[in-house]
Structures are given as structure tokens and as C-alpha cells.
Structure 1
Amino acid sequence: MTTHDIHETTAPHPQRWRILGFLGIAQLMLILDVTVVAIALPHMETDLGLSRAAVTWTVSAYTLTFGGLMLLGGRIADLVGAKRVVLTGLLVFTGASLLTGLAGSAEMVVSGRIGQGVGAALLSPAALSLVVTLFDGDDRNKALGVWSALGGGGAALGVLLGGLITGGPGWPWVFFINVPIGLLIFAALAVMLPAGVGMRPRPRLDFVGALLVTGASTALIYALIQAGDHGWLTTVTGGLVLFALIGYVAFAGWQKRARSPLMDVALLARRPVTTGAFLILMATALMVAVFFLGTFYFQHARGYGAMRTGLLFLPVAVATMAGANLTGRILGRFGARPLAVVALLIAAAGMTVPALTMQPVAVTVGIAVAGAGTGALFVIASATALGQVAPQEAGIASGIVSTFHEFGASIGAAVVSSVATVSLVGDSLDGFRDGFLVAAFAAAGAAVVAGLLTPAARHPAG
């Protein structure tokens, strides 16, 4: 397959920028739903009587399903056309959002979040495929720049919106708001999108690969959640981790045999892609740790309302976007390796502040500093993973990075939830302090790994 087979060769679609606007709003909705629930979680916990595990699964069920099925969603888009998959994903996500908002039990909440994850896994890769297909040359670079910016700012914006919505009409509207927006986008895209765009027939869908990687990841997340209640060095925890490792090995082996593999495992053997995947996993895990610990600290330990908590995350949002913006400007000058190390050390320093003193001002400043580090890391991770792949490999490389993004969110929520158990179920601040401390050590350790793993900058020729 040549690069000309991948992109349309016809004249640019006259409504491509308007289509990008609607696709961008849809993608923002998916990104927001990773963090918009952070502020709502304590209220959902109280109203629905959720256990700590159920609270964690409210985050992890979405991100795990989203990440585990994303590559399969991209393959389905190749087979039947991106337009059909985008519209189907929108309907599934919108319906699942309605179900989650109407939930009256933990089972309904988690089921709704799984449904949202399935819709997101269909929608996101198909939408990105449309962006790549509808744009060409400099316009494509501009469009992809807009797309990337949504990921950096969307997560931080989600906490702000979550506070305003939860403090206003109430937590169900965190999910209900997706319904009119989703239906509006569906109606617009159904009319504007050309039929058959992005369709590239493949022999079959790799359902076995999707089952293996999602099952292994579910076992790993469940092990991390269970550790908070039953201990980290127990037979159950160890058995689940072993099961997950076996699942990942089986997935890698299957990908080498499958006729139409879900993932080109050989790409992960390339140093830039491996580094990018590691950095995006760490960035997302640390970001979710900040939001999870911060929102429960302000609302559970300090008794702040949802709206006040959301406003306290305003400097976090600004710092996150500022870190991403500054890094994008200087990345070409300094290279990925030193900036990755610095970004992770900044995140570690930020996490250390609330670990040392659990005063509200210190926590706010600390998580804002950590946000600046994670915002920078998102840009570095994407540039590292995608900067040296061939054009025909960009789609699958993007899928790998996006998958690790969602798995990082799942792991971050599971780990900090387990470490902070004593504070989530009681009145002690020790759990929050331990959570921030573990995040700080993880960021510092990742800085060492990044310094060793990240490829050195290549100087442009001439």
C-alpha cells in the first residue's frame, strides 16, 4: 500500500474546516469525560452509596474500555468507512451517557461508563482518520495541531466544568450534557460527511487480540484496586498481576500470527515509539492522580463544595496548558530528552509540596506545578512517538500512543485510590499524603528512565 492509497486524492472537501469543528467538539467530549467526573465522584459516592472500588471503576471502566478497544475501532473504520463508525460511536456514547446520568446504583454507573468507553473507542480513531483524510499539506498540519491541543487542554477543562455542573444542576448533568451535544453533532456530521471516506477493506477484524489486551489490562487494574483493601503482597494481587502479564505475552504472540493484527508489535520495538508510549502513560497516570487526589482532598477532607473545588483547579488548567504551549515552542531547540526529564522533575516537585504539608494553598500550588509538568510531557510524548514514523505508519502509531494514554488513566486512578484508601474511607490525611508521595516518587523514577530511554535529538540536515 502506498501513501497515495491512504489519503484522498480528490479536491479538498469544501466544508472540511466546519467538519473539523464538529469532530473536534466530539473528541473534546470524549477527553472531558476522563476528568469531568473527578469533581462529581464524591457526590456520586454519597448519593449512590458507592464503595471505594466502585468509585475507582467509575474512572477506570471508561478509560480501560476506551483504550482496550480503540485499535479495534480503528480497524472497523478501515473496513466499513469512517463516517459510519463516527456516527455509530456518537450514538453509543450519547446513549451510554444518558444511562449513566440516570444511574441509581454502582452497577448502572459502571455499565454506563463501559458503554461510553465503547462509543469513544469507535468514535475517536475514526474521527482522526477523517481529519487525516480530509486535509492535506499545511492544512493537515494545522488541523492535527488543533486536534492535539484538545487533548492537552481538554483534561484540565474537564475538572473546571465538572465543578460548575456538579455545583449547579448536579452530578447527573455531567453525563446528561453529552446528550444534546452528541445528537447535534450527529445531525450535522450525517449531512456533511461524504459517504465511504477513509474506507480501506481488510480481511478480518482481530477480536481475539482486542479480547486479550483488554482482558489483561482489566486484570492488572483490578489487581491494583484490590491491593488497597487486601494488601500489595497477597496471593490474589500477585495472581492477578501474573495473569495480566501472561495475557500481554499472549497478545504479543497472537499479533505476530494474526492475519490482520490489531497492533504492529514491531513498532513498539522502535525506541522513539516505546519512549513516547511510556511518557504518555506516565503523563496521564500523573494527571489523573493529581485530579483524583486533589478533588477528594478539597471536598472530602476540607468540605469544599463542587463549584469551589472546580475553581481551585483553574490555576491547574492554566498551568497545564501553559506547560504544553511552552514545550511546543522550545521542543525543536532543546530536543525531547532534556525536556522530558525536566517535565517529570517538575511534576515530581509539584507532587512533593502537598506530600510535605496538606494545607489548601500548598495543595493548590503543588498540583498546579505538577500540572505544568504533565502538560509539557503530553507534547513531548506525542512528538517523540510520531516524529520519526513513516506516513503510512502514522495511524497505527497514533493508535498505540492513544491506547497507552487511556491505560495510563486507568492505572493512575487505581494506584492512587489504593494508596489513599485510609483517607477516602476515613478522616485521616495520611492517605492523601501517601498518594502524593507515591506520585512524586513515580515521576522522579520516570525522569531517570526518560533520561536513559529517550533518543537524542537529531539535528536537521543543512
Structure 2
Amino acid sequence: METEYKGNNKLILGIVLGVVTFWLFAQSMVNIVPAVQSDLGISSGILSISISLTALFSGMFMVAAGGLADKYGRVKLTNIGLILSIIGSLCLVVAQGSVLLIAGRIIQGISAACIMPSTLALMKTYFQGAERQRALSYWSIGSWGGSGICSFFGGFVATYFGWRSIFIISIIIAVTSLLLLKGTPESKVTAVGEKKPFDIGGLITFVVAMLTINIVITSGASMGWTNPVIVGLLVVFLISALLFARIEMKHTNSFIDFSLFKNKAYSGATLSNFLLNASAGTMIVANTYVQIARGFSSFQSGLLTIGYLVCVLSSIRIGEKVLQKLGSRKPMMVGTFTAIIGIALMTFTFIPGIAYNVLVFVGFALYGFGLGIYATPSTDAAISNAPSDKIGSASGIYKMASSLGGAMGVALSSSLFNAIGTNGNMEIAGSAGLLLNVAFGIVALISIMMTVPKEKTELVRQ
């Protein structure tokens, strides 16, 4: 039941720290690949799968968790997510091989599925108008900005304290978030009318489809595309995808509420969000390339991302101000175009020495600036155009797009990089992996131009 409670800075800080825990365990992994592989003695294929699993599992269960948050309480689901984050991080701290590494990454993915839509729904419930846009900017700093913080942070910690220390710190931050959120009134939707059954068939077929295609993408090149296992998994993916589509068309309470996509602003924000998050493969390709091909340490490669960190943090509030003056469409387009230019600069891997280091530094800065400009207008366009009784589900679908985009982008980029890199030409491997991310950005820009309305977004929304 809703209260007259109004959000404050304590709530914002608790939510932002909760969101940052996702990046502390998810994004940091893209900058410590060689260290983890050397310590645990696992193959690059297994490591690639473990990296993408967190985003994949968060994406697969995001919508279900958003619906549960609406029904049982957004504060409750946030707390459950933070507890799962602690458990998942503990698995990685004590991991001695692939089993606990993969288990921890899966648990952390489910953790993010609980945290992301629940905290977005709390932002809409307890903040209004310009205050909501301010709160969403800080949420975006935790989400988009967290990626820059954790890329640098992960490299620094892995180099000087060991990669496991990253996840000890993640636990501390999750506990702090739990304490800050304590006392926040519960927020949930009061059930009205007939109780509808949960779409378990849709969830199961969706999970099977996403898992199988992810394994095909990450392992197809190393196992061979004609390998019976890969062919079998591809068949399972096609069957489960067809079953999912059939179930969703008939179910009265479908797993993904496609009625939300009748709103053009929501559709455009969600689609471009998926595609821009797919460009997250930029991080893993660029960081891994400079470490393997140019002899950088994790910390040194992290230093190249400082421009990303500074620019994404500073430009998020700029994106908020532009949103209030011009609406969502223009800052989303400008941000996406700037991010594309940033990634494109990093594709020139044939340039030797310090000149390429400068290109990577500037490229990361532009990439971060573009994402920061895009972040708040996109998030605001998504949740502000969703019905109040479906905000948890709408937030879940929007963040599912983020996570699945990231999972697919990282899987495709790392697979392409590894496949070409096995032949010894790391320059071509790095360039190809980065060009794929340029393509994701271009398609995202086209999707914004085609779907996001030109009308100015209202400053104050109810």
C-alpha cells in the first residue's frame, strides 16, 4: 500500500550503492580476464561464458522480478537482491575453479534482476517531476557511471590487491546499501480484479532460448560450428523461441507484456537501450587487447578508461538538463552518435605505440560522454510513459533489454575476438571486435530516429 512518504537523499544513496554492486561484480570482470584465467586455470571459453552469465541471468529474470516487486513489494525485492549479491560475491571470493565461479556469476545475475526494476520502481513511486529526473540521474550514475568506476577500480584492485578483493568490497557496499534502505516504506500494487496465473511456460521457454543461444555464441568457434552439441543447442534454441512466441500470443498474463510497446517512446527507449548496451563488448575487447597484445597490466588498461569514468559521470547530469529543455529524442541521438565515434577511434589497432594509447583514451572518453548524455533521457522516456500499475514490469523489460544487450554484446564481441586472435593476429582481432560494437551503435541510432517521438517531453510528469 502506498504512503505519503517522499524520497530523500538517504534513499537515493542506498539505491545507487545497490545498483553499483551490480557493476562491482559484473563490469570489473571485463578488466581482469587474464588475472582470473591465470589464477583459476580455466579456458578462455569457460571464462567468456562466466562473464556473460551475470548479464544473461539478470536479463532473463528481470521481468519476472519486476512483476514480483509490483506484487510483493519493491523494497522487499531490493533487499533480496542485495542478499543474493552478497552470497554470489562470497562464491567468487572462495572459488578455486570454474564451478563456484559460474555459480557465483549466476547468483549475482539473479541478484541484479531483483535490484534493477525494484529500485527504478521506487524512484518513480517516491519522487515526482524534476525531483524524479534528478533521482534518475543518480540512478544512472550508479548504472551507467558504475561501469566506468568499476573498470578502473577492478584494474587497480586486481593489480595491487588481487582480483578477489573486488568482491569483498562489493559485499561491504551491499551491506551498506541494506542499512541505508532500512525503514523505507514498502511500495507495491494493490491487486484489483481477477487473479491471473503466472506465465511459467513463457518464462521457461525464454530461459532455455537465451541460455542455448548464449552457449552457441560463446562456444561455437572453439567447438566448431558443425559440432553435434552446437547444432543440437541451435535446434533447441529455435524450438524454444518458437514455443515462447506461441505461448505469449495466447497467455492472458504473458511473461512479457507486449502491450507496453504500443507506446512509441517506451519502445524506442527500450530498443536503443538493448543495442547501446550491446556495445559493452567494447570494454572487454579493448581491455583484453591492450593487455594481451601490448603488455598492459590490469591497472594500466584501467587507466585508459579514466576518461570514460569522468565523462560518463559528468555528462549524466547534462543529459538530465537537456532532457528538461528539449525532450528525450535529441539527447538520445547526440549521445548515441558520440558513443559511436568513441568506439570507432579504438578500432585503429594497427597504429603503433603511444599514438594508439591516446586514441583509446580519447575513444573511451567520448564513449562515456555519449552514454552519459543518453542515459537519463532514455530511462525517463521508458518509465515515465509506463502505466503506474505496470511500472515494475515495464522497468523490468527496460532493464532486461540492458542486461540481455550487454550479455549478447559481450558474448559476440569476445567470441569474435578470441576466434580471430587464435590465429595470432591480435590487431585484426581487436579491430574486428570493436567494429562489431560500432555496428551496434549505428543500429541503435537508426532505431532512435525511427521510433522516439519528436515532441518535447513534459518537465513534470505524474
The TM tier, using the shorter chain, reads 0.7 to 0.9
Instruction: State whether residues 133 and 198 of structure 1, in contact with CA within 8 Å, keep that contact through their aligned partners in structure 2.
Output: no
Q: Are 1:435 and 2:433 an aligned pair?
A: yes
2:433 counterpart letter in structure 1? G
Instruction: Report how many residues are paired.
Output: 450
Counterpart for residue 186 of structure 1: 178
Three-state SS of the structure 2 residue aligned to 1:104 is: coil
Report deviation, 1:371: 2.9
Instruction: State whether residues 420 and 431 of structure 1, in contact with CA within 8 Å, keep that contact through their aligned partners in structure 2.
Output: yes
Counterpart for residue 25 of structure 1: 17
Counterpart for residue 321 of structure 1: 313
Report deviation, 1:19: 3.4
Counterpart for residue 409 of structure 1: 406
Higher RCO, 1 or 2 (CA under 8 Å, sep at least 6)? 2
Instruction: State whether residues 324 and 458 of structure 2, in contact with CA within 8 Å, keep that contact through their aligned partners in structure 1.
Output: no
2:154 counterpart letter in structure 1? G
Alpha-carbon displacement from aligned partner over 1:92-142 (angstroms, at most 9, x marks no partner) = 220111011211112221111001112222233333334444445655444
Counterpart for residue 29 of structure 2: 37
The alpha-carbon distance between structure 1 residues 143 and 432, as it changes in their structure 2 partners (threshold 3 A), is same
Q: Separation in 2 of the partners of 1:188 and 1:329?
A: 28
Q: How does 1:57-136 map to 2 (within 5 A)?
A: 57-135=49-127
Alpha-carbon displacement from aligned partner over 1:144-198 (angstroms, at most 9, x marks no partner) = 3432332221111110111121122110112122223333433554x5244x542
Instruction: State whether residues 89 and 171 of structure 2, in contact with CA within 8 Å, keep that contact through their aligned partners in structure 1.
Output: yes
Q: Separation in 2 of the partners of 1:84 and 1:335?
A: 33
Instruction: State whether residues 260 and 394 of structure 2, in contact with CA within 8 Å, keep that contact through their aligned partners in structure 1.
Output: yes
Counterpart for residue 376 of structure 1: 373
Report deviation, 1:296: 0.5
Instruction: State whether residues 317 and 371 of structure 1, in contact with CA within 8 Å, keep that contact through their aligned partners in structure 2.
Output: yes
Q: Are 1:168 and 2:160 an aligned pair?
A: yes
Q: Separation in 1 of the partners of 2:145 and 2:409?
A: 19
Q: Separation in 2 of the partners of 1:389 and 1:73?
A: 17
Q: Separation in 1 of the partners of 2:229 and 2:374?
A: 34
Instruction: State whether residues 75 and 205 of structure 1, in contact with CA within 8 Å, keep that contact through their aligned partners in structure 2.
Output: no
Counterpart for residue 289 of structure 2: 297
Counterpart for residue 360 of structure 2: 363
Instruction: State whether residues 97 and 179 of structure 1, in contact with CA within 8 Å, keep that contact through their aligned partners in structure 2.
Output: yes
Instruction: State whether residues 65 and 117 of structure 1, in contact with CA within 8 Å, keep that contact through their aligned partners in structure 2.
Output: yes
Report deviation, 1:405: 0.2
Q: Which residue, 211, 218, 234 being the options, matches 1:218?
A: 211
**TM-score scaled by length of structure 2:** 0.86
Report deviation, 1:380: 4.2
Q: Separation in 2 of the partners of 1:428 and 1:80?
A: 50
Q: Separation in 1 of the partners of 2:234 and 2:270?
A: 20
Identical counterparts, % of pairs: 23
Alpha-carbon displacement from aligned partner over 1:199-225 (angstroms, at most 9, x marks no partner) = 645655433332222221222222221
Larger mean CA deviation between 235-244 and 372-381 belongs to: 235-244
The alpha-carbon distance between structure 1 residues 163 and 25, as it changes in their structure 2 partners (threshold 3 A), is same
Q: Separation in 2 of the partners of 1:199 and 1:446?
A: 33
Three-state SS of the structure 2 residue aligned to 1:303 is: coil
Where in structure 1 are there 5+ consecutive unaligned residues?
Answer: 1-6
Q: Separation in 1 of the partners of 2:129 and 2:364?
A: 39
Q: Separation in 1 of the partners of 2:310 and 2:335?
A: 16
* RMSD of equivalent CA atoms: 3.0
Q: Separation in 2 of the partners of 1:80 and 1:383?
A: 24
The alpha-carbon distance between structure 1 residues 241 and 401, as it changes in their structure 2 partners (threshold 3 A), is farther
Alpha-carbon displacement from aligned partner over 1:8-43 (angstroms, at most 9, x marks no partner) = 2x4326x85423322321122123332122222221
Alpha-carbon displacement from aligned partner over 1:226-263 (angstroms, at most 9, x marks no partner) = 34335679887676556445534433443344454333
Q: Separation in 1 of the partners of 2:298 and 2:449?
A: 39
Alpha-carbon displacement from aligned partner over 1:38-77 (angstroms, at most 9, x marks no partner) = 2222210111122222222222110111111112112223
Q: Are 1:385 and 2:376 an aligned pair?
A: no
1:214 counterpart letter in structure 2? V
Q: Separation in 2 of the partners of 1:380 and 1:129?
A: 16
Counterpart for residue 4 of structure 1: none
Instruction: State whether residues 252 and 265 of structure 1, in contact with CA within 8 Å, keep that contact through their aligned partners in structure 2.
Output: no
Larger mean CA deviation between 234-243 and 219-228 belongs to: 234-243
**TM-score scaled by length of structure 1:** 0.86
1:32 counterpart letter in structure 2? L
Counterpart for residue 247 of structure 2: 254
Q: Which residue, 133, 143, 147 being the options, matches 1:151?
A: 143
Three-state SS of the structure 1 residue aligned to 2:32 is: helix
Larger mean CA deviation between 451-460 and 266-275 belongs to: 451-460
Three-state SS of the structure 1 residue aligned to 2:256 is: coil
Alpha-carbon displacement from aligned partner over 1:325-354 (angstroms, at most 9, x marks no partner) = 433333455554454444333333322223
Counterpart for residue 198 of structure 1: 188
Report deviation, 1:410: 0.3
The alpha-carbon distance between structure 1 residues 373 and 142, as it changes in their structure 2 partners (threshold 3 A), is closer
Q: Separation in 2 of the partners of 1:333 and 1:135?
A: 20
Q: Separation in 1 of the partners of 2:442 and 2:38?
A: 35
Q: Separation in 2 of the partners of 1:385 and 1:237?
A: 36
Three-state SS of the structure 2 residue aligned to 1:413 is: helix
Report deviation, 1:460: 6.7
Q: Are 1:55 and 2:47 an aligned pair?
A: yes
Q: Separation in 1 of the partners of 2:167 and 2:429?
A: 29
1:220 counterpart letter in structure 2? I
Larger mean CA deviation between 429-438 and 265-274 belongs to: 265-274
Q: Separation in 2 of the partners of 1:361 and 1:172?
A: 30
Instruction: State whether residues 12 and 135 of structure 1, in contact with CA within 8 Å, keep that contact through their aligned partners in structure 2.
Output: no
Three-state SS of the structure 2 residue aligned to 1:224 is: helix
Q: Separation in 1 of the partners of 2:410 and 2:322?
A: 31
Instruction: State whether residues 25 and 89 of structure 2, in contact with CA within 8 Å, keep that contact through their aligned partners in structure 1.
Output: no
Instruction: State whether residues 340 and 367 of structure 2, in contact with CA within 8 Å, keep that contact through their aligned partners in structure 1.
Output: yes
Where in structure 2 are there 5+ consecutive unaligned residues?
Answer: 351-355
